[in-house]
């Protein structure tokens, strides 16, 4: 997990530098890919309508954060308070990092003569891609900690999370509201935050272990003998 956090963090930083520095090869690639997707969006309105439903409702950041909030409530109800706090704090930190970078970079979104959708705020990083990555990553982590034995539903959940993370990236580029590098940056930043949160949780477990439940002391010897006589 440490190597995953480092690699994703380095790649996210590199992506940020290239976007902020307006590196010409990256801008050219972004433009070419975005134009290709936009032509498909204009020529196939039925696909675009499908993408809008998933982008605006199923994989919307509000939906993802509602799922994270539900996870926090379930963990708290089950008495797993530390994990609940970790999920909540990581989700809030991700939201703060996202808005901070959007304001700092200030990248313009694609502009089309025939737009099929619209979006607010700056382009980099993609909030949809980042929120989906953080929420799905945390959900898989929580399930991995909670399940001690093999679980048949694990593969289905992992598959749904992968489809959600990749699918939301496709919808944002297809709808013409993000450059491809916005989506890649959101994926990398989101995964870096999840991996860092997992590492910090493991450190907290070692540094501040939870107290073991107190064992119930056995009854006195005289009481045990009387209990045996009654039996």
pLDDT at residue 189 is higher than 90? yes
For a pLDDT cut of 70, what percent of the chain falls above it?
Answer: 88
- DSSP string across 165-219: HHHHHHHHHHTTSS-HHHHHHHHHHHHHHHHHHHHHHHHHHHHSPPPPPPPPPPP
Q: What is the pLDDT of residues 118-132, one digit of tens each?
A: 998 999 999 999 999
Grade residue 154 by pLDDT with cuts at 50, 70 and 90.
Answer: confident
Q: What is the pLDDT of residues 87-124, one digit of tens each?
A: 999 999 999 999 999 999 999 999 999 999 999 899 99
C-alpha dist (Å) from residue 123 to 2, 78, 127, 186 = 29, 39, 8, 10
């Amino acid at each position: 997990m440490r190597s995953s956090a480092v690699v994703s963090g380095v790649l996210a930083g590199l992506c940020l530098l290239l976007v902020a520095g307006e590196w010409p090869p990256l801008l050219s690639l972004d433009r070419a890919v975005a134009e290709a997707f936009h032509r498909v969006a204009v020529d196939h309105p039925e696909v675009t309508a499908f993408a809008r439903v998933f982008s605006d409702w199923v994989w919307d950041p509000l939906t993802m954060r509602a799922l994270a909030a539900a996870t926090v409530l379930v963990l708290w109800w089950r008495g797993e308070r530390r994990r609940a706090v970790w999920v909540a704090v990581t989700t809030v930190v991700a939201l703060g990092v996202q808005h901070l970078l959007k304001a700092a970079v200030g990248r313009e979104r694609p502009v089309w003569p025939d737009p099929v959708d619209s979006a607010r705020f700056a382009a980099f990083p993609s909030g949809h891609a980042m929120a989906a990555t953080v929420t799905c990553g945390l959900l898989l982590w929580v399930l991995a900690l909670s399940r001690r034995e093999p679980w048949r539903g694990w593969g289905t959940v992992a598959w749904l999370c992968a489809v959600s993370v990749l699918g939301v990236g496709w919808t944002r580029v297809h709808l013409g509201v993000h450059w491809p590098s916005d989506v890649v940056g959101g994926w990398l930043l989101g995964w870096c935050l999840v991996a860092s949160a997992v590492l910090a949780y493991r450190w907290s477990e070692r540094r501040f272990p939870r107290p073991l439940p107190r064992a119930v002391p056995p009854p006195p010897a005289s009481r045990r003998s009387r209990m045996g006589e009654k039996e």
